[in-house]
Every structure is written in C-alpha cells, then in structure tokens.
Structure 1
Amino acid sequence: MAAVGSYILSTKIPQAVLNKELKTKVPYNLKQGQSRIFHQLPSGLNMEVIYQKGVRNKIPDKKVLKQPPLVFVHGSFHAAWCWSEHWLPFFSDNGFDSYAVSLLGQGESDDPDGSVAGSLQTYAADIADFIKNQTTLSPVLIGHSFGGLIVQYYIANLEKDSSGNLAGAVLICSVPPTGNSGLVWRYLFTKPVAAFKVTMSLAVKAFQTSLPLCKETFFSREMDDHLVQRYQELMTESSRMPLFDLRKLNASLPVASVPNLSTPVLVMGAADDFIVDAKGLEETGSFYGVQPVCVEGVAHDMMLDSSWKKGAEVLLSWVQNLDGKI
C-alpha cells in the first residue's frame, strides 16, 4: 500500500495496457483523468475496467477514509464506456474512486469460449474477483438494466463471503428479480405497439440500424440525434456476443431473497423508461423492502441521457448518506 496524505491507495491496480489493439471498430476515447486497465480473471481472460480516481481536495481527510469506491456494471449492448461519458467524471469530482467494468464479450474485454458471453453466476464471480483484488474498501456496486440483475445475484450469493462485502448496492432501471418475462407480458396486453417496438429493437437488434427506434428505446425525446447516433454505434460495437442465453437465464430466476439483508440498497427508475415499466420498478423495490426512487425527465439510459445529472445527483445524495451505515 502507498499512503498519500491520509488516504490509502491500492498498489494492486495494474497500469493501463498501452498499444493494445482495440477490439471495437468504433473506439471510445477516454476523458481526462481516466485510464483503461485490464483485470486478469482466474480464467486467464482480461476484463476491461475504466478507472477514474476521486478528486480529494474538496473533501476533509476524515471523510476520504470512509469514502467507498464505486463499481459500475452495464447492461446489454453497453460496456464500461457508458459510465465514463458523464458519471465517472461527476463522481470523481465529488471525491469517489470510480470503476466501470466491461463484462466479458463486451467492449474491450476478452471473449470467452461459446456462443454466449456468460451467465449471472459467471459475471457475478468476475466482479467479485475484481472487488477482492482491486479495491481496498468495500465498494458500492451499481448495476444498470441487466447489470442490475447481476448485482441482485451478487447480493444473494456472494455477499455471504466476507471478501465480497459491499458498502451498498444500487439498481438502476434494473430488470426485476423475476426477470423480464413479466415486463414482456404486460407490454403485450397493455401496450402492444410498444411491445412490438421493444421486441424489434432489442430481440431483433433493430436499434442498431434505426436511429428513431434507438432513440425511443434508450433516450429522451430531447436527446440530440448526433449523440444518439454516436451511442448507437458504440452499442453496436460493444456487444460482440450476446450477454445471456435468455432461456437459461429465466430458468434460473427468480433471484434468491436474502433475509435480514444488511447491505443498503437503492432502487432507481426513470419516469420515461421505455423498457422497464413502473410495475417492474415497484417489484424490485418491494423485493428489497425499499421505496424506489423514480427520476423524472430521464429515459432508460439514465447515465447517458440529456438529463443524466438528475440521476447522478440522486445517487450522490444516497451514497453520501451511507457514512453512518458503513
């Protein structure tokens, strides 16, 4: 360990791998203060992590020692870059060390053998290995969409291991613990046109070729089309392999409940979410015994949307209030 002032820095974080040939044809250029590192998993495969150190000069030394790192997990068709655009700089500026991972088969991470990149079990194990080896304090684990389901599996199965302890867990526009089947059926009976669009956009991957459909699926109407196009290209290139085998995934659900869960959980949703409806948000909140927070004026991709700061500020307030709980 190396001490800087009164803050302990981990010497475990590897240096960025330079001159590594990128896997994606549409490269994501890191912002100032960010570095791309590659965490080697027990399998020997490398997992991309975009890291941004917290700015300390605004924070009293005593508080810095308690400031948990933040670990962000993306959902389908995304990778670490989706957090790096706005939220990593935002939380870094507020003093938090922030790590965004790319799950295997996504972004610049290595591809595993097989036709599908992984499962709830393998992804959670990869994240647990990263946390165990690369963070000095128990982190807040934050998952978006299907990444939220991975975080739920982590809570249910890996939180028992002392090395996997979390300071908190955050589920953003998350797939509910029962999976997405309930969402699909509700859409079919109540919003058949929306159900058709969601199916075309996600299952058939029409979001990759239709800018209007991509915008409707992930973003607010106010979002600039040139930004939607940029993210559309990045999403298309980020998902070389399917994240899940949905049949096997649904067979493994619901996520197991955890009696007397000690980990604080924040459930956040977006009022204009085209994918996860209000009942899905309520289901997840009820499962964890918390009142979900629905952020107005943002869509499913809360961290990339034109009003991205609204969700970031809700999360910041919640994380800052963890002081007395960790």
Structure 2
Amino acid sequence: MAALSTTTLLTNRTRMTLVPRAVLENKTQVSYELKKSQSRLFHELPSGLKMEVIFQKGRIDIDEKSQNPPLVFVHGSFHAAWCWAEHFLPFFSQNGYDCYALSLLGQGESDAPSGAVAGSLQTHASDIADFIQKQINFPPVLLGHSFGGLIVQYYIANIGNEKFLEKEGLYPYLAGALLVCSVPPSGNSGIVWRYLFSKPVAAFKITRSLAAKAFQTSLPLCKETFFSTEMENQVVLRYQKLMTESSRMPLFDLRKLNASLPAPPVKDSSIKVLVLGAQDDFIVDGKGLEETGTFYGVSPICIEGVAHDIMLDCSWEKGAQVILSWLNHLKR
C-alpha cells in the first residue's frame, strides 16, 4: 500500500508535523482514537527526537473580549497525552482554551531516547520548555499530573534561573501552573514510609501495583490504584490497556530522582499556582497534598469523590470545573 502523504501545521514560529495515523510506526499496540476536532502533531526537539502532541483548538466565540492562555498538559508515569484528550481537552476547548497535551519521550507515540529510562526532571522540563518556546505565542498555563506535577515544579523553579539558562536554554514564562494529584516537592519517599507504618496493606498494594507493574495485569488492582470504585470495569480495562502500552520505558530513574530532590523553591513569586488533590487518591495522601500546598504558600483544594486519575475518573467534571473557575479568575 502506498504511504500516505504528510501535511505540515505552520505556526508563527516553527513547524510541527501532522501525520495520518496510517503512517505511524507501531510505537504503541493499543492506538488511541482521537476525538472530533483533535489533531496529533509531532514536535521535533533539538535532539532530533519527536514528541507527540494532541491538540484541540478552543472555541473562539466563548470570550472574544479577552485572550485565554493556552493550556499545556503534562502526564505522569504510565500515561501519555491521551489521558488528557479523553475528557479535559474537549471540556477546556469548549470553554475557549487552546489545549496541548504532551507525551514525554518514551511514552505514547513519542520517540524513545537511547538508554534505560525516558529522562530526568531536567530533560523532561527542557523538552516542555522547547515546545512552549517554539510553538506557543502566549504564556501558557502548565498543568502536571502525579509525577508530571513534579516536572512542572522543576520547570517553575527554573524560570529566570541564570545558571540554568547558561547550561540548557530559556524556560519560557508561564501564565500559571497547576499541580494535579502531584507528587510533593520532596518526592514520593515520604508517602511510601507513611504508608508502611500507617497503612501496611495499602503500601504493599501500591508497591505491587506500580513498582512491580501489577496494575497492568490485575483489573481490580488497576481500578483501586487509579480510579473510583464506581468506574465501570470495561472502561477501566480500556484505560489499563492504554496505560500498559503508553509506558514503553520508565519515566525516571527513581534513585537518581530522589537524590535530586526536594524541588527548588520558586524564585518568581508572581507565578500563580493551584494545588489540586483528590480525597480518594490511593497514591498521593493528604499529607503529601498539604506538603505541596505549604511549599507554594497556597491552600490546596481537595475534591471529594474522585480518585488519583482526576482527568479520567467517572467524576472528572468535578476537577475540571474547579480548574476552569481558577483559570477564569486568573484572567482578572
């Protein structure tokens, strides 16, 4: 069969390649089918590797009097751009926001670097910065989930950092940052130790689910780890397959990651930060949420009736509405 032609999406600054799904090399065996008005793009990094981006343009008739900041979504471990494309991209685009969901290297349809792991806090943040600098015309809001939240924390800590700029280049300014069920600035070790002493059964389940990747083969464990009990099994099964195929290599070397923590403080106090958590989060506990809020000097918001994967859970609208309210207030 003849190869389909490749079209190119032009922006004011550079190019991103839009590739029909039929010509994609099988980076994942379980494909994510895009929703109406969504496009799959590939941003070429300075390394030559390409990063998957799922894009959905915001409705322009929502708020013609003001320019909404673009939204850039960063996933955590075992996820990719698709986890935002399922519900959040349609929701926020309908409310007038241009949405870009990234797949970090080695995840989803993105290229995989050489080596055993996908990268580090520094390399992932640098890739995000390169995308924002070259593809987005206005300061965006950066949203990170779980370990993606830790990457966002590293990003905002290095905006305006002269030492960093000399080594790796510019981190573009942001309109704001959202940390969604984020790993706290000290990492996940404190959470693990608390669970070992206060919830040993939960600690065993989390270790088995995530470290041993048992969530990939156990539907009940996958559901307990990421979702609410009300989620239908057939929906969980679909997400389980996508998560299994999304993470072709570990996002980090956890030993090196923990050695580099805690995350440095934010130097620019003008950056607005929202810390959002879930009451039924099986991974990030309440103290972890409080730690993140205290670190950034904000009161965290904890949503009832939602689990760790806020953006995929059956009550995802609860988190989306809180974020939308914060975004609308941000523009004032």
Q: TM-score range by the shorter chain?
A: over 0.9
Tell me the equivalent position of 2:18.
Answer: 16
SS in structure 2 of the partner of residue 321 of structure 1: helix
**Alignment counterpart, residue 62 of structure 1, candidates 65, 70, 77:** 65
Tell me the equivalent position of 2:227.
Answer: 219
Residues 234-253 of structure 1 show CA distances to partners (whole Å, capped at 9, x for unaligned) of 00000000001000000000
Tell me the equivalent position of 1:117.
Answer: 118
Give 1:141 shift. 0.2
Tell me the equivalent position of 2:96.
Answer: 95
For residues 238 and 68 of structure 1, the distance between their equivalents in structure 2, rounded to whole angstroms, comes to 28
1:297 aligns with 2:301: no
Gaps (5+ residues) in structure 1?
Answer: 1-8
Give 1:261 shift. 1.8
Tell me the equivalent position of 2:75.
Answer: 74
Judged with a 3 Å threshold, the aligned counterparts in structure 2 of structure 1 residues 129 and 72 are, in CA distance, closer, same or farther, namely same
For residues 238 and 318 of structure 2, the distance between their equivalents in structure 1, rounded to whole angstroms, comes to 22
State the superposition RMSD in angstroms: 1.2
Runs of 4+ aligned residues of structure 1 deviating over 6 Å after TM superposition are: none
Give 1:158 shift. 3.3
Sequence identity (%)? 69
Partners of 1:86 and 1:304 within 8 A in 2: yes
Judged with a 3 Å threshold, the aligned counterparts in structure 2 of structure 1 residues 316 and 159 are, in CA distance, closer, same or farther, namely farther
Gaps (5+ residues) in structure 2?
Answer: 1-10
Q: How many residues align?
A: 313
TM-score in terms of structure 1 length:
0.94
For residues 160 and 301 of structure 2, the distance between their equivalents in structure 1, rounded to whole angstroms, comes to 24
Judged with a 3 Å threshold, the aligned counterparts in structure 2 of structure 1 residues 213 and 95 are, in CA distance, closer, same or farther, namely same
**Alignment counterpart, residue 234 of structure 1, candidates 235, 242, 266:** 242
Tell me the equivalent position of 1:104.
Answer: 105
Give 1:22 shift. 3.4
1:27 aligns with 2:31: yes
Judged with a 3 Å threshold, the aligned counterparts in structure 2 of structure 1 residues 58 and 260 are, in CA distance, closer, same or farther, namely closer
Moved more, 278-287 or 13-22: 13-22
Partners of 1:128 and 1:158 within 8 A in 2: no
Partners of 1:218 and 1:273 within 8 A in 2: yes
Residues 210-239 of structure 1 show CA distances to partners (whole Å, capped at 9, x for unaligned) of 000000000000000000000000000000
SS in structure 1 of the partner of residue 16 of structure 2: coil
Describe how 1:30-179 pairs up with structure 2 within 5 A: 30-59=34-63, 61-63=64-66, 66-160=67-161, 164-179=172-187
Residues 187-211 of structure 1 show CA distances to partners (whole Å, capped at 9, x for unaligned) of 0000000000000000000000000
Residues 240-281 of structure 1 show CA distances to partners (whole Å, capped at 9, x for unaligned) of 000010000000000011245210000000000000000000
